[in-house]
Amino acid sequence: MKNENLRSTILMPVFIPTAIVMILLVIGASVNPQLASGLFEQVLVFTTEGFGWFYMLATALFLIFIVALAFSPYGSIKLGPDHGDAQYNFIEWFAMLFSAGYGIALLFYG
C-alpha cells in the first residue's frame, strides 16, 4: 500500500488546541491537587445550580422529539440501501447500546 493513499482522520486545528488544554489540565491538577479539586468543585456547583434546569429540559424535549419521530412516518425510513440487510440482529444491537450506556455511566460516576 502506498503512503500517499493513507490519510489521517485527525483534524489538526481541532486536535492541537484540545490536546494542549488537556495536557495543561493534567499538569495543573498533578502539581496542586487540592487547588484543582476546589476549582473543579466550584465549576460543578456553578454548572449544576445555574444550568441544571436546562439539562433536564433539554433531555425531556429530546426524548419527546425522538419518540414522536419514531411514531411518525419518518420512523419507518430505512437507513442504508434499500436492498441491504441489517448487519446485527436485535439482541446484538441491544447489547452494544447497553454496553455503551453502561460505559458512559461508569465514566460519569467514576
Query: CA 50, CA 42: separation in Å to the nearest integer?
Result: 12
Cβ-based neighbour number of residue 36 at 10 Å:
15
78: Cβ contacts below 8 Å, ≥ 6 apart:
none
Spell out the domain ranges in the chain. 19-109
Cβ-based neighbour number of residue 29 at 10 Å:
14
Is the pTM higher than 0.85?
no
- What pLDDT, in 10s, does the model give residues 50-71? 999 998 999 999 999 999 999 9
Instruction: Count Cα atoms within 13 angstroms, Cβ side, for 78.
Output: 7
Residue 18 has pLDDT above 60, yes or no: yes
For residues 36-43, give the mean pLDDT: 95
